[in-house]
Chain A
Amino acid sequence: MSALSIEGRHIGLPLRETKWMREFYTKLAKQFPLGELTEQRDNLAFISIEQPQLRPLLMHLRDKEGFSHLVLLTAVDWIEEGHFQLTYLLSNRTNGTDIGLRLMISRDDALMESIHDIWPTAATYQRELREMFGIDFPDSPGVYEDFILEGWNNIPPYRRDFDTLEFSTENFAQRPGRETKDPAQHMKQQLYPDGA
């Protein structure tokens, strides 16, 4: 249950409980070993799964349950816990529901099987994930080609340990006249140039 909080105080409304998703999850859990279910809305749920279940589950959801639209494939870097979360979001247009499959992989050995044969468009997502997060998808078409970055030789930039501020300070020079001034010091300098 989510709610806006300030310093531990919860403000705002609790989210609605859903029924359809729970029934669907129970049905699905009879065929596949599934992890935790998070019901986000009455038409959106996230299910944690393990790597061996990914392919059979995706095929089942696409061919038997009508989740034929791959909405997105992306990663979240949980650096403190030492893993990447891959999210495969699928949509079923006929009943207007979405299911997100959450899959954790190790940050140290970021490797995942490709699903471009199930959805050809997944190749683009996988190419981006390899470039931005350093997650490898062997056999995915064009996965080792530059996608957005060109000649990048630093750590993958969307990882949490990549510091954007440090990178820009090291690689780019400030244009003259664009120095950042401390407002208090600047006004003092303007008002009392002699330091009086």
Chain B
Amino acid sequence: MAYQPDRSQYPQPGADGKLDIDLTSGKYLKLWQGPQHPGITGNMAVELTVCGDEVVEGKVHVGYLHRGFEKLMERRTFIQCFPIVCRICVPEPDFNEYCYAAAVEELAGIEIPEQARWIRALILEMGRINSFLMYCGGQAGSYGMGVISQWTTYVRDLMLDRFEELTGARIYHMFILPGGVRDTLPEGFAQRMEETLREIEITMKDVYETMYCNAVFKKRTVGLGVIDPELLDSYGVTGPNARAAGVAKDVRKDQPYLIYPELDFEPILGQDSDIYTRADLRRQDILQSVDLVRQILAKMPKEGPVMSKLPNVLHWKIPRGETYIRGECSRGEYGYYLVTDGSGFPRRVNVRGPSYTHAMSLLERMIVNINIADVAGLMVSLHTYPPEIER
């Protein structure tokens, strides 16, 4: 990490601003980080050009997970798209369900029952906790602390149990349908959820003491991978990556959706915008989401319908229109741009995943001049999921 003050041996930018890298000189080496990588960044690759142990250029390659979801949806009816959307993001699939359902509801003019709005928010917060727990394990793993991921995977599994009893599925829930949600909370759910939340709090205390107070972790992450707050808008940075830079970008507050105006919370902000700040902010976000789940369970109506009365879903035709629906997922702004043309099929569905901007243009910019050993930590600290880039 400590760079030599003499930079003469590193490439200098030419007149066009590009680095003068002559691969035949023997000074540089091409190195591939990925596409198979033990971190949680999923299958993407960064083609590094290194000089000594310092990265001088990085190029992101994606496409390993492309399944053409957006195109597939154009051949399916609105309800048939439903099992597809959640598969766009594995660790946090519920935002796809919510954004897609809300976009269809808005264009079709469907209003959902009050209780469904609370259950949707509950599911989204549960998903957020899971996604952050997975991130904690990945971030620790990228700095050689394998045990943290075992602890967080354990509590994530408890949360998956709650998902299973609520929705019937552990990973892809397919629970938030246009018109509402599929079912009410099972008997005794709130109590079992409280036990899970307590377990998460205990584990996060252990994780804090072991990972966040660890001298090596601090030494390697403080001051590294700083995102300049001035770059946030030009690079489309949202979510915890922006909040760690001190900018309170949070869709739950900026454009409140579902029942978030009725919950008591403030976006958690960081200041230093480095890897440590982002990691610590996400740890606090887990605890905030734990509190939000408690608030939702305490305030939500205990009875009432959860699904609107809808006509036969196989024969829907939605008039020509377009809309954009966004939500604050664990990585930032997640959105669906839906265009309809009056037929029974969507004309175009475009998924705006936060990783699209974080993992491409931003990562390529940030990766320059860092040490090879810190690349994995930096990639994980941006909390990117490649399927969102490729859809």
Chain A residues near B (Cβ < 8 Å): 2-7, 11-15, 38, 40-41, 43-44, 46, 68-72, 74-77, 85, 87, 89, 93, 96, 98, 100, 119-121, 123-124, 146-150, 157-158, 160, 162, 164-165
Contact = CB atoms under 8 A, between A and B. Distances in A.
Contact of A148 (B63, B316, B322, B326): B63
7 A-B pairs with the lowest CB-CB distances in the bound complex, closest first = A12-B109, A4-B108, A148-B63, A3-B109, A68-B233, A74-B350, A121-B236
Give the one of B62, B110, B238, B324 with max A CB within 10 A.
B324
Contacts of A5: 317-319
Contacts of B92: none
B347 interface: yes
Interface stretch (B19-27, B332-340, B368-376): B332-340
28 contacts: A2-B318, A3-B108, A3-B319, A4-B316, A5-B318, A6-B315, A6-B316, A12-B109, A13-B109, A13-B111, A14-B109, A40-B321, A43-B255, A71-B324, A71-B333, A74-B350, A75-B348, A76-B322, A76-B348, A89-B324, A93-B249, A119-B233, A120-B234, A121-B234, A147-B62, A149-B66, A157-B68, A164-B75
Contacts of A120: 234-235, 361
A76 to B, nearest CB: 4
B353 to A, nearest CB: 10
A77 B337 contact: no
A82 B238 CA distance: 36
A164 B322 CA distance: 24
A157 B350 CA distance: 14
Contacts of B63: 146-150
Interface of B: 62-63, 66, 68, 70-72, 74-75, 106-111, 233-236, 238, 249, 254-255, 311-312, 315-319, 321-324, 326, 333, 335, 337, 339, 347-348, 350, 352, 356-357, 360-362, 390
B71 A158 contact: yes
B337 A74 contact: yes
B249 A87 contact: no
B107 A123 contact: no
Nearest to B235: A121
Given A119-B234, A120-B235, A72 B315 contact: no
Nearest to A95: B254
Contacts of A148: 62-63, 66, 390
Given A6-B315, A70-B236, A120-B361, A96 B254 contact: yes
Contacts of B348: 74-77
A124 B357 contact: yes
A59 to B, nearest CB: 13
Contacts of A4: 108-110, 311, 316, 318
A109 B357 CA distance: 28
Nearest to A13: B109
Contacts of B316: 4, 6
B391 to A, nearest CB: 9
A91 to B, nearest CB: 8
A96 B255 contact: yes
Given A4-B316, A4-B318, 12 more contacts: A2-B319, A3-B319, A4-B109, A11-B109, A14-B109, A38-B322, A40-B106, A69-B236, A72-B350, A120-B234, A121-B236, A147-B62
B335 A71 contact: yes
Nearest to B253: A96
Contact of B254 (A3, A6, A93, A100): A93
Nearest to B365: A120
A68 B362 CA distance: 17
Give the one of B109, B326, B390 with max A CB within 10 A.
B109
A120 to B, nearest CB: 5
Contact of B107 (A2, A72, A85, A100): A2
A6 B315 CA distance: 7
A148 B333 CA distance: 22
A178 B62 CA distance: 30
A85 B321 CA distance: 13
Contacts of A162: 71
Nearest to B356: A124
Contacts of B72: 164
Nearest to B74: A160
Contacts of A68: 233
A6 B312 contact: yes
Give the one of A14, A43, A121, A146 with max B CB within 10 A.
A121
Given A77-B348, A93-B249, A148-B63, A44 B236 contact: no
A166 to B, nearest CB: 12
Contacts of B311: 4, 6, 11
Given A96-B254, A96-B255, A120-B234, A76 B315 contact: no
A129 B352 CA distance: 14
Contacts of B390: 148
A6 B109 CA distance: 13
B322 A100 contact: yes
A38 B36 CA distance: 45
A40 B323 contact: yes
Contacts of A93: 249, 254
Contacts of A72: 324, 335, 337, 350, 352
